[in-house]
A and B are shown apart, each in its own frame.
Chain A
Amino acid sequence: MTDNTVAGLAALQQRFARWALGQTEEVDFVGLIEGPGLWVHRNTVRLTLGDALGDLFPVTRQVVGDDFFLRAAKDFLRQEPPRAATLLHWGGGYPAFLEQYAPAADLPYLPDLARLEWRRHLALHGPEATPLTAADLAALPPEQADDVTLCLHPTAHLLVSDWPVLDLWQAHQTENGLDRLTFARGRQEILIVRPHAMVELYALPAGGSGFLAALDQGLAAAIAAAMVEHPTFDAGALLGLALSQGWFRSPVPETGAE
């Protein structure tokens, strides 16, 4: 009965994979000696991947609790199994999954909390680049300084949420942090960036995310973008902070480049 061709082996592996991921409940393996071993593999696949997802979204996991998290992880795994043999690239679809996930409907801030954690993960493993400093800018000849394009550091990610998810995340980093948490603050604009070894998180002033996102179109365009909705936005203050904290990448001048 066993198909001993390469195509037969491929078909067996496909069936096994769908069963192990929980995409089918049908144990249909011609040529298999059944035994607890089969279930060991299914458990290993689901538990190790559930744990891996928990490592990526530790605060989300704390908020919903282990049981809820692992149940949701199984559902996510069925829909979006890993596609590459490194788990560093898996989980980006989890925040969007939570948005559609009915059991999490009464936690409307959960998808954005997960987005914050995913972007933290991306920043942690993102490319290295030397941050731009105020001294680098000052060293430029004046004719170049006018044409400088400020580029966000390659590990930089912006997040705008209707919920104070950075406050929520930070409250989970200390023992009694939740006691002081309030949702009254509402909307939060957040920058996630890793200029050096550590990922840094910043709550931006209103308009800050639009400003930073538009900087690659030039300073004037960025200021305009921020002031449309936030007329009191202070670009100078934010630029000073950005340069002192390494939010931009060096080298500076890309003048003349198309």
Chain B
Amino acid sequence: MISADAAPGLPRRAGIGLKPQHYADILRAGPQGLSVGWFEAHPENYMGAGGPPHRWLTAIREHWPLSLHAVGLSLGSAEGVDPAHLTRLKALVDRYQPQMVSDHLAWSQVDGLYLNDLLPVPLTATARDVFADNIDRVQAALKRRILIENPSVYLRWTGAEMTETDLLADLVRRTGCGLLLDVNNVAVSCGNLGADPVAYLRDFPMQAVEEIHLAGHAVRVVEGQMIRLDDHGSPVSPDVWDLFALTLRWMRDRGLPPPPTLIEWDTDVPSLSRWQEEAVQANHLLSSVWQQEGTDDR
């Protein structure tokens, strides 16, 4: 299947996050020396006028496809997207021509305050309309589609009028955006809300999935309750690998191509070679599932 986009998308294999401590190692290894097909960076870290971050990203972009994964658009903000932030993001998109741009089903900014966290929004028609308007505005400004990621959730607001998966499906229909399925977030959110991750995945609008995220999470006890923390500070956990494999089989069975898959790691960041091992494992699943076409039972 060929992507509907005129511009070629991300390679349909594993990529990893781009971290400053790896810049030099990455360029030393070169595309032939790494089992990593692409890199993902947070644009908010590259919003200075100049300096080393731009110098490195420019050099790396010459050799690898790039995804810009935003954390600051605050698409769930009732007051709308911060125009100054959108202008900064557009400048980066124009400069680096990334293969993919994405952000989250969350909010982080209100009243001129920025909270540096991805906060949940009530699952209401009002919130959906806010998201849709904000996504329309971003896509119009960037002149391209973006992907929306399912967030890691620690609480629910009362008065839900729809499920998160229905809300995401609505956004795809109304804005034409694609989805970024974070399988680790599915495990984290369902664990925290007492929901079934397999049922969540069954309801997820797979046809719209154009990228997958995998990461590790921590399990802690907070105020007497066990809670899964989305800290991206460890290898991908076995249950997340299982959910990933299940997702891939379902995508394959619906005639979808292998999705570009990112291994995230944001705290206790390992060596480049350790990180690559996770990418190799993801690549192995991506190729083996599509080789076993139709031989699995569901």
Tell me if A36 is interfacial: C-beta within 8 Å of chain B: yes
A40 near B82: Cβ-Cβ < 8 Å: no
B157 near A40: Cβ-Cβ < 8 Å: no
Bound together, the chains give a CA A32 to CA B159 distance in angstroms of 9
Which chain A residues (114-170) contact chain B, with CB distance < 8 Å?
A: 124-128, 155
- CB contact under 8 A between A10 and B114, given known A5-B126, A32-B158, A36-B225: no
B126 near A6: Cβ-Cβ < 8 Å: yes
Tell me if A82 is interfacial: C-beta within 8 Å of chain B: yes
- CB contact under 8 A between A85 and B51, given known A4-B124, A32-B157, A36-B225: no
A49 near B111: Cβ-Cβ < 8 Å: no
B220 to chain A, nearest CB (A): 9
A9 near B122: Cβ-Cβ < 8 Å: yes
Select which of A6, A36, A82, A194 is within 8 A of B114 by beta carbon: A82
A33 near B192: Cβ-Cβ < 8 Å: no
Select which of B74, B126, B225 is within 8 A of A85 by beta carbon: B74
A20 near B117: Cβ-Cβ < 8 Å: yes
Which chain A residues (46-97) contact chain B, with CB distance < 8 Å?
A: 48-49, 52, 81-90
Tell me if A257 is interfacial: C-beta within 8 Å of chain B: no
B155 near A38: Cβ-Cβ < 8 Å: yes
Residues of A within 8 A of B122 (CB): 2, 4, 9, 12, 31
Residues of B within 8 A of A48 (CB): 116-117
Tell me if A7 is interfacial: C-beta within 8 Å of chain B: yes
Tell me if A41 is interfacial: C-beta within 8 Å of chain B: yes
Residues of B within 8 A of A186 (CB): none
Which chain B residues (140-160) contact chain A, with CB distance < 8 Å?
A: 153-159
Which chain B residues (24-57) contact chain A, with CB distance < 8 Å?
A: 44-45, 47-55
A86 near B47: Cβ-Cβ < 8 Å: yes
B205 to chain A, nearest CB (A): 24
Bound together, the chains give a CA A127 to CA B47 distance in angstroms of 11
**Nearest B residue to A16, CB-CB:** B119
A83 near B112: Cβ-Cβ < 8 Å: yes
Mask for A176-202, Cβ within 8 A of B = 1, else 0? 000000000000000000100100000
Which chain A residues (1-49) contact chain B, with CB distance < 8 Å?
A: 2, 4-10, 12-14, 16-17, 20-21, 31-41, 44-45, 48-49
A85 near B85: Cβ-Cβ < 8 Å: yes
Bound together, the chains give a CA A175 to CA B225 distance in angstroms of 43
Residues of B within 8 A of A9 (CB): 78, 121-122, 124, 126-127, 130
A36 near B117: Cβ-Cβ < 8 Å: no
What is the interface size of chain A, counting residues whose CB is below 8 A from a CB of the partner? 49
- CB contact under 8 A between A126 and B50, given known A9-B126, A85-B82: yes
**Nearest B residue to A13, CB-CB:** B110
A86 near B85: Cβ-Cβ < 8 Å: yes
Q: Quick one: which of B45, B72, B157, B229 has the most chain A CB within 10 A?
A: B157
Mask for B102-126, Cβ within 8 A of A = 1, else 0? 0000011111111111010110111
B158 near A85: Cβ-Cβ < 8 Å: no
Residues of A within 8 A of B47 (CB): 86, 88-89
B73 near A40: Cβ-Cβ < 8 Å: no
Residues of A within 8 A of B71 (CB): 85
Residues of A within 8 A of B112 (CB): 83
Select which of B115, B124, B157 is within 8 A of A20 by beta carbon: B115
B119 to chain A, nearest CB (A): 6
Bound together, the chains give a CA A129 to CA B49 distance in angstroms of 11
A229 to chain B, nearest CB (A): 34
Residues of A within 8 A of B130 (CB): 6, 9
A6 near B78: Cβ-Cβ < 8 Å: yes
Residues of A within 8 A of B158 (CB): 2, 31-33
A residues in contact (CB < 8 Å) with B: 2, 4-10, 12-14, 16-17, 20-21, 31-41, 44-45, 48-49, 52, 81-90, 124-128, 155, 194, 197
The 6 closest A-B pairs by CB, nearest first: A85-B72, A125-B48, A37-B154, A37-B155, A10-B78, A128-B50
Q: List 14 A-B contacts (CB under 8 A).
A: A4-B122, A5-B126, A6-B78, A13-B111, A16-B110, A31-B157, A37-B154, A38-B154, A48-B116, A83-B114, A87-B44, A125-B48, A126-B50, A197-B55
